[in-house]
Structures are given as structure tokens and as C-alpha cells.
Structure 1
Amino acid sequence: MSTQLETRTTIDPITAQVIRGALENVAVEMGYKLARMSYSSIIRESEDFGCAIVDAQGQQLCESTNSTPLQSGPLPGYIRGIKKVLEERGDLIRPGDVIMHNSPYYGASHQPDVGFFLPVFYRDELIGFSCSTAHHLDLGALTPGSCGIVDAVDAYAEGLQFKAIKVFAEGRRNEMVWQMLRDNVRAADLVVGDMEAQIASCRIGAARYLEIVEKYGINTVLAASEDLMSYSERILRQEIEKLPDGTYHAEGFVDGFLDSDDPAKKDLKISVTLTVKGSDLIVDLTGTAPQVPDRPINMPFEGTVDIAVYFTLRSILLDSEVFGYIPQNSGLMRPIQIIAPEGTMVNPTFPAPTIARFCPGNMVADTLMHALAQVVPRQVSAGVGNLNVVAYSGLKDRQYWVYMDIMEGSYGGRYEKDGMDAVDTLYANTRNNPIEDIESHYPLRVNRYELLDDASAAGKYRGGIGTVREVMFLEDGGFSVEGDGQRYAPWGFSGGNDGTPGKLILQMSDGKETVLPSKIPHHRAAKGDKLRLFGPCGGGYGNPLDRDPNLVLKDVLDGYVSLKSAETDYGVRIVDGQIDLAATAALRAERNL
């Protein structure tokens, strides 16, 4: 590969852009076809998957735009992990291989995100990989579902581990691996069907990539890819150079296990020190809490922590509203160095469990944004409301049904904009699963799903509003939850109020209610039981007394803010649906003293 690149080190910009568009279309096609071929709603509806083409060195050339960064972003790390495992075994990558991989200590994001990798050969030379990852419903752990296994004591308790397993070897299907999968996972038809859809998507990507190579020549394609990576790197470095050199610090906290008697399992600190030096950024996570050796809220450094850092910096410094489309590739990672001490939550050592790494990883991104707010206050939001991930399950005719639901969070207020309501935040962008899809496939009924009343954080730009969702079991079953944000409210910025923490309530069929912590291992539920989830609301941005009274009135009329809160938080008196201008001016003058 390096020899090929040396033969052609420059390329005209028009050809480079044409090849960029062709590569992106490959990844987009892979993503759409994977979504349409999949069986489970977590892929089909929520789009919790990723597709990409990477070169032989593992550098990402393109990714599917209809996927989540936490799926597509780690794919180069998967490749590095696969190569390391195969090298340790003395094995080689050969034409016709299809490799399955999910080891979080070899580049994967966490065990449920299973990747499939099809090596692409051109004239007997490895030129890259066609890749896909997706979150699978079950991998055979202690309890049903691949989320909410928050009582896992080590990596082995989190389900099946795949370290560079060849499910096809030189074109021959390894039937025993597939049989092992069917024998060890719940909802086997859905899980195996989704995996086969991933492989089909990879085959499509490999074929399309070869078509591009055959049309333009391998040297031209590789030169165009390097040109695009250099362009992405150059644009990011230009923005970093505009920042004042210096060091900026912020801290955040993860709930952990609020019901635990062990202080080492709760109130866990995330520490971020951001150093700007010329066109380089150093993100130092020293000071973050030690790893929790027997609970799965540790975060793989490669596959979760690095993606949280890269994506947050890229999103804030290269806002698409300002810059338009910037090619998403490995060039965006080159200006950034991450320091994560081994043995901490952000760089655990095997076999510390990691399956519930999502919410802590979101807090890494949120805390990094808090540090960056000191440098680019107009390019960040206030603190975000974290997400809840729930696994519902049960037995029907001796067969398991498993449903995984991602309950969205909310953003904080932003410069000249209110926070976004009811959306996935930071390094996640999965879609809302329609109620109609839930109720038509599972013995569940969604009784309530709406924005919270009078809960948004006050600010010149108010915080985003979280949701409340009530799900009732129509048959006996169970659930497990991994969430966060009950103890620590999302931070307000520049005078804005802090957001509202979340909560979780189980209402039994007899009406008795129990308040639950943010992390719940598998809990049996009877027919008629209801699980009620309240999402956190993002922080406010700016002094609430500076908010346009007409916007306060609009929020009151929309039911987002009560009359009392309008007066108490914003100094706006509303009478009979109209702003009392004199009373409002007096209230605000009194508060500003």
C-alpha cells in the first residue's frame, strides 16, 4: 500500500471529490440496505448500527450517514483489534473470509455491538475492509437482553465474546459457529437474521468498493482517500489554531449504583483537562474515578472513550451549519491526543465489565463540552440530559421475546437557541422507535409518551425538555435498565439554571409504586405492571431574566412552562394569556438589583 501511495502523491481536487462522493454513496447504500434487511427494531427502526469502508491500514474512508457515531466511529479500532488477535494466533486474512468481532479490549465499543468485516482484495492484494456493526438484542448473558446487565461481575458475565472469529473462512461457511450462536442466544431468529443482514451489507460494500477501484485504479483511489483525510485534518487544525492556547478543566459525575452500600460504586467522577497548543488538542482524563472491577460501567478506551472525545470536538469545532459537509474519516482524529490512565473508568483493564458503558461515555462527552465552553461559549450547549436504555423481555410459547428501547434525552440551551427536546444526545443519534411498532410486535402497551410539564431549565435560552414514558406489561415478563442522571442535574451555563434530574417508577398492578435507581438488573414484572420513566432535562443557557418575554409567553401557551414558573424563574407576569408589561418590568428590575 505504501509503495502504491508513493507512486502517486498528488491528485486533482475534482477527481478527489468525485471519488469521495462515490465512497460515501457506498457506505450510505450499505446502511440503508442493512436497515431494510434487519429483523429487530433496534436496527430497523432505531438505526443503532454503523457501516463503513476502511483501508488496509484501518483508516476510515467513509461511513454511513444514517447510523450512530458510536457504531461507525469505532470501526478502525475493530480492525486494529482483529489484526492483533490474528497476529497473536499466527493466522492470516484471506480472500473469502468474513470476520466477526466484539471484544471491547480489542477495539470494539462493547460486547453487544458485534462487527462483521469482509476483507477486500484487488489483484491478490488486500486493499481494505467492508465493515458493519450493530447492537444485537441478546448475546446469551445471565439475563435476557443485551442492555441492563448492570450486575455483570466481569467481561465473561456480559455474554458471548467473539475475538476475530471467522464465520466464513476462504468462502466456506463455518456452520458450527452459527449453530453455537443459535444455541446460546435468546431470540435466535432475530439475532442471527440481523447478523446475516450485516454480512449481506458488507458484501454490497465490497462489491461497490471494487467497482470504484476498477474504474479509477487503486493508486488514484488511495491518493484521493489520503487527500480527503488530509483535507479533514487541515480544516480541523485551522479551527484549533483559532483557539487561545491554554488549559481548561471541568468535572462531571456519573450516578453509578445509587442503591449500593459501597461508595466506590457510586458518585463517580469524570475529569477532563483540555490543553490547546497550536493546532493540537490534548484531552487528559487523569483524575477520573478508578475502574469498578465488578460492575459494567467502565468504558473501553478504544471504541467508546476515544469516540466520545473525537465526535464531541469535531461537532463543536466544525459545526455543519457553518462549514457544510466535512468528510468523516480518520483525518479528523490526527490533531487530537487522549490521555487516559490505565485502571480508571476511562481505560479499564480486562476482565473489568463494560457492557453498560453508554451513559458514562455520554458524561465524558458532556464534561469535555463543559471544558470547551470556556473557550468557545457560543458553540456549545449547556449540560445534556442523559438517556435510559431498557430491555423488556418475556417467554411466549417457550420462546423468548426481547425488545430494547432507547429513551431519548435532551440538550441544554445554546447560544441564540433553546435546547433540543426529546432527542438522543452527543455521540448517539438513534431514532425514536414508533409506538405502533412496539405494540404490534411485543406484549407491551405504551400508555403515556409526552414531554414533561414545567420541567425545562430556565435560561435566556431554556434547556431542552425530557420525556415521560409509561410502558405496561400485557403479559408476565421482565425488564432491566441502564440509565443515569438521577443524582446530578445537567449543568446550567452563563447564568442559566441547572436542568432537572430523571427518575424511574415501577407501579404494580395493585397500584403500589416503588421508586427505582437509574440502574436496574433484570426485574420480574407481572401482567398489568407499569414502568414509568422520566428523562432528565438539559441545562439553561444565559440569565433567565434576559429571555424575551414573548418566548416565555409562547412556552406558557404551549404548556412547557407554568404561570408560576414564568413569574418565579423569568420575571414575566402573564394575565389572561397576555404579558403584563408593567409588572414584568418591575419584577425584572427588582431581580436585577
Structure 2
Amino acid sequence: MELVRNSFSGICDEMAESLVRSSHSPNIKERRDCSCCLYTARGEIVVQAEHIPVHLGVMATALPHVLLDFPPEEMAPGDVFIVNDPYHGANHLPDFIVAGPLFAEGRLIGFAASMAHHTDVGGMAPRSMPAGATEIFHEGLRLPPVRLASAGRVDPGLRRVIAANSRLPEERLADLDAQIATIEVAQRRIDELTQRYSADDLLSAAARILDMAEAATRRVVAELPSGTLRGQALADYGPTTIPIRVALTPREDVLEVDFAGTGDQVVGPFNSCLSATLACVFMAVRITLGEGIPANAGMYRALHITAPDGSILNPRYPAAISAAAQVSYHTFEALLDALAPLYPERVLAGSGGGGVFSLGGTDPRTGRLFAYGEALGGGSGASCVADGESGMIPPIANLHDTPVELLEMSLPMRIERYEIVEDSGGAGRFRGGFGLRRAFRLLTSARCSFQVSMPTRGPAGLDGGEPGAPTRIRIVSPDGTTRRVDRFMDLFAPEGSLIEIETAGGGGYGRPEERDPEALASDLRAGYDRRRVEGEAA
């Protein structure tokens, strides 16, 4: 069983590397905004690559939606299905989930799938992350579960529809083809495995992998102390904060996770689809009580998760939903707040980030449309044993950033500053990590969209630690006038504008007066603590 499990894991890793190498967009090739996994024939995740936690949790809910419309017994080798609709188990519209059946000895034994963030899928703003969206129809092309390929032949009409709804059609098709190819990679490796193991062996191993993970999780849950653990975070939506509340209660060997008391959905895109909410729970459980247990559908069987209908964590159709990741940052924070008393050594204080900055227009060098955007990292929260890391995407995302050289080579912009924001980490026995400062000089006019993360409240500290600094964004026009961006906002920026983003720092852990003097001195030597340096100079 362990040999098969590691073989499955190797397949997922190879799928992901194939996708990264074959894709065309920087979003996948450089930032690795993609994930891969294998399922059983019933649609349960067996093995997942160590990629983006929120993706992998979402993928656990997406394939069952596909199977509702397409019975497995009617599938054939080479079939491929696609879905990106959050109301059919997906995440947000730029995330395409592409899945296909796997066969051994002529029998369906499971599915392979990839999830990748496509740079632009239409909608009212370049990159399909409009800050001003009020319903999902503003955010781009919606695909419920549909058949993309039959017996290896890709539907040319559906390809044309996808291309016609993107500002970057050639890139969309290239990335889509790269996703389809990952299923072919998985099938080839399954064919190789069947030279050593029968189809029955593979099916039996997959079932045992899930059953053992379930049993291990149930044992841990059954050993938890009775009572309810409660946590809370304030989701920062510009000047408004929305409470996210969670209660965790063990009932024999099942952990009940209830988000009752969470704030209502908002009119804008700052809502999290239910699948992303579940993904946050899976991640939090995995790193605390489930540490060491393989993260798969077996673990998930021991969880019973509810979120109020119409809340920010389970909005009603047709709510806009593109900023689900920003909501998930706070959902994860609330879960860790609840779990901290039991697992202080396994949790972090609040982690920072800047949200998503997107822009697009016409490139004067080529006359063609361009679109750019990425989630901006900040400082990670401190733990009870170490300072937070600087310049990190919050834990549920696990992304890289786009290299400066690539941005300047492929887009009409210049990066004038890219550095750590001094003093942005929350003070504590262990301080939070520092945010990032990135300054973009626009070499052409552009439509910009800011889905700002943590603009008014810095990430919370733990155990007496102080919060990190909030995100700060300013736009300096060519005439020298300055505008602050402190909420979700769409705007037009003329050529020559400078957009400077300082992302939130991480929260501290423990009381600041308990910090080791040598650690303070080290921060001073490194220039991280400018307030102290300036105070001493004064």
C-alpha cells in the first residue's frame, strides 16, 4: 500500500511539473498558481501534491459535481471535463479545474485533475478580478461541469468559446492544453503501474489509504478534550470589518466545525464560496490535530462542517466571489485562533499580504491587449518558537511571486522598488515577518483593479503579541498628486503613474517585553526596526 501511495504521489508531482513547464502564462509558469491530485473512482481525493492548500481543498468538492452530470460508467479513456463555476464546487472563475478518468485493465480506477489560475477569463476588468463586481456575471466566463474532450478529441467549439471570452486568447488555449496534457501524463504512469500491480491491487490500495487516514483522524478527534473551542477573526473589507466566527466541538470521533455567527455576504466580491471555506478547515486540521496524517478524503470524513447560508463563507447565488482567497486568509486565522489553546506549537499568529493587484490595457510596443495581476505576499505570523518569515504569501495560498525581470520584459511597466517594509512585523516575544514594498511605474495607461487585503487592520498577534502593520497603497500621478487606495477599488491610471504597494506584516507571538535583547539588536543591525533607530537618533 505504501509503495502504491508514493507512486500516486509521484504521479501528482510529475503532473504539476509538466503543467508548469508546458504552460505559457507567468501565472502558472513562474508563480506556480496550480495544483494536481488523484481521486478514487467515486471522486474522493486519494493523494495530492504539496501545492496550494486552498486549491486542493476546493478540488475535493469539485469532482463530485462533475460526477452528478456525467456518470462514471459512461466515461471512456481520453475523456476530459472542465469546471470553474464556484456554485458547482469550484473556487473562483479564473481557476479552471480540468479532470479526466484513469483506466487500468479496461476498468475505471480513478481520476486525475489539475487546477490552474488562468490570467484572464473575461469580465468587467482585465485579469477577471474586478474590485467593483456585484454579481458573478461581472467576473468572467462561467463553466459548469462540461465535457471538454471525448475519447481524446477536444471540443473545438468549446475551445473557441473559452478563447473568445479572454483578453489573451492564445495564452488561454496554451494553458488549457497544458492542463489536458497532465491527464495524459497520469494515464501513462498508471499504465506503467499496472505492469506491477493489477487493477484490483490499485483499487484496494486506494481504499485502504483513505480508510487508514479516516481511522487515524477519528482516533485523534476522540482523544480531544470535551467542550467547544471558539475562534474569531475580523475580515478586513476596506473600512468595514466582517466577523468570522467558528466553534469546534468533538462529538465522539467526529469534529463538528460550525461557522455560526459569521457576518453576512457582501455586495462586492469579498465572499468565499463554500468549497474554499471547507478548504480552510482541511488545512487547519491537517497542520494541528491531523499532523502526520495524509491529507485526503479519509481525513475529511471525520469532519462535519457547516456555514450559514447567505454568510460571507457561504454566499447565495449570484454573489460575486473573485476575492475568495482574501476571505480565506481570515477564515484560516479564525480556525488557528480556536486551535491555539490545544496546539500552541503548531499555529501562527495572523499572516499579512496585500491582496490582489490587477491591471491591463493595450501594450504600445505590440498593439495587443495585456493583463497582469498577482496576489501579493506579506509577513507571515510569528510562532511560539520563531519570528515570522518576510515576504510570504499567507499559508493557504503558498504561491511564488512574478520575477521583476519577467514583468519588465513582457509588460509595459518598470519595477522601481522591491524591498522589505521595515517595522511592519508585529512586536512580540517573536516578531511577525515583514511585508513587501513594490513600486510599479506604468509605461502606458492602464485600467487597475485593487482587491486590497488588510488595509485597515493589521494581522492579529497571539498570546499577547502585537498586530502587524496594515497594507498601504498609494498612486502618484504624473502631475505629482497622490491618491490612497484603502478599499476595493477600480480606477484608471495614466501613463507615468507610480503605484506603490506596502503589504501587511505578520502578527507577533508573546509579549514584546519578553523578546531576547540579542534578537532586538540583530533587527537593529539589519535595519529592520527603523522606528528604534530614528528614535535613538532623535
1:47 counterpart = 2:14: no
Aligned CA distance change for structure 1 residues 97 and 458 (closer, same or farther; 3 Å): same
Count of residues in correspondence between the two structures? 535
Structure 1 CA distance for aligned equivalents of residues 498 and 248 of structure 2 = 44
1:370 counterpart = 2:337: yes
Structure 2 CA distance for aligned equivalents of residues 250 and 489 of structure 1 = 17
Shift of 1:417: 0.7
Structure 2 CA distance for aligned equivalents of residues 315 and 155 of structure 1 = 32
> In the alignment, what sits opposite 2:406?
437
TM-score normalised per structure 2: 0.95
Residues 130-181 of structure 1 deviation map (CA, whole Å, 9 limit, x = unaligned)? 111100111111121122x122222222111111222212333311111122
Structure 2 CA distance for aligned equivalents of residues 563 and 270 of structure 1 = 33
Aligned CA distance change for structure 1 residues 74 and 209 (closer, same or farther; 3 Å): farther
Residues 337-381 of structure 1 deviation map (CA, whole Å, 9 limit, x = unaligned)? 111121111112221121111101111011111111122223211
Kept after mapping to 2: 8 A contact 1:244/1:375: no
Kept after mapping to 2: 8 A contact 1:85/1:163: no
1:110 counterpart = 2:79: no
Shift of 1:518: 3.4
Shift of 1:226: 2.1
Kept after mapping to 2: 8 A contact 1:312/1:426: no
Map 1:489-528 to 2 at 5 A.
Answer: 489-521=458-490, 523-528=491-496
Structure 1 CA distance for aligned equivalents of residues 257 and 435 of structure 2 = 30
Structure 2 CA distance for aligned equivalents of residues 490 and 563 of structure 1 = 19
Letter in structure 2 aligned against 1:113: D
Residues 529-565 of structure 1 deviation map (CA, whole Å, 9 limit, x = unaligned)? 0111111111111111111101110011011114637
Q: Which moved more, 1:249-258 or 1:366-375?
A: 249-258
Structure 2 CA distance for aligned equivalents of residues 171 and 469 of structure 1 = 44
Structure 1 CA distance for aligned equivalents of residues 372 and 466 of structure 2 = 36
> In the alignment, what sits opposite 1:170?
151
Kept after mapping to 2: 8 A contact 1:456/1:464: yes
Q: Larger C-alpha radius of gyration, 1 or 2?
A: 1
Structure 2 CA distance for aligned equivalents of residues 552 and 238 of structure 1 = 43
Letter in structure 2 aligned against 1:48: D
Structure 1 CA distance for aligned equivalents of residues 531 and 322 of structure 2 = 44
> In the alignment, what sits opposite 1:295?
268
Kept after mapping to 2: 8 A contact 1:370/1:383: no
Structure 2 CA distance for aligned equivalents of residues 392 and 150 of structure 1 = 11
Kept after mapping to 2: 8 A contact 1:343/1:349: yes
**In structure 1, the residue corresponding to 2:167 is in which secondary structure?**
coil
Kept after mapping to 2: 8 A contact 1:257/1:519: yes
**In structure 1, the residue corresponding to 2:288 is in which secondary structure?**
helix
Shift of 1:26: 0.6
> In the alignment, what sits opposite 1:540?
508
Shift of 1:478: 2.5
Letter in structure 2 aligned against 1:226: A
Kept after mapping to 2: 8 A contact 1:454/1:559: no
TM-score normalised per structure 1: 0.86
1:31 to 4, 10, 16: 16
Shift of 1:24: 0.8
Where structure 1 has 5 or more consecutive residues not aligned to the other structure, the ranges are 1-15, 259-265, 568-573, 576-593
Shift of 1:269: 1.5
Kept after mapping to 2: 8 A contact 1:552/1:566: no
Residues 431-468 of structure 1 deviation map (CA, whole Å, 9 limit, x = unaligned)? 12211111111111111111111222111111111111
Kept after mapping to 1: 8 A contact 2:421/2:437: yes
Q: Which moved more, 1:498-507 or 1:397-406?
A: 397-406
Structure 2 CA distance for aligned equivalents of residues 502 and 284 of structure 1 = 30
2:325 to 333, 358, 381: 358
Structure 2 CA distance for aligned equivalents of residues 565 and 458 of structure 1 = 15
**In structure 2, the residue corresponding to 1:128 is in which secondary structure?**
strand
Aligned CA distance change for structure 1 residues 240 and 174 (closer, same or farther; 3 Å): same
Shift of 1:330: 1.5
> In the alignment, what sits opposite 2:108?
126
Q: Which moved more, 1:223-232 or 1:178-187?
A: 223-232
1:196 to 177, 191, 215: 177
Map 1:315-326 to 2 at 5 A.
Answer: 315-319=287-291, 323=292, 326=293
Aligned CA distance change for structure 1 residues 412 and 257 (closer, same or farther; 3 Å): closer
**In structure 2, the residue corresponding to 1:224 is in which secondary structure?**
helix
Map 1:13-412 to 2 at 5 A.
Answer: 16-65=1-50, 67-86=51-70, 92-147=74-129, 149-258=130-239, 266-292=240-266, 294-302=267-275, 304-319=276-291, 323=292, 326-396=293-363, 397-412=366-381
Where structure 2 has 5 or more consecutive residues not aligned to the other structure, the ranges are none
Kept after mapping to 1: 8 A contact 2:391/2:433: yes
Aligned CA distance change for structure 1 residues 191 and 315 (closer, same or farther; 3 Å): same
4+ runs of 1 displaced by more than 4 Å?
none
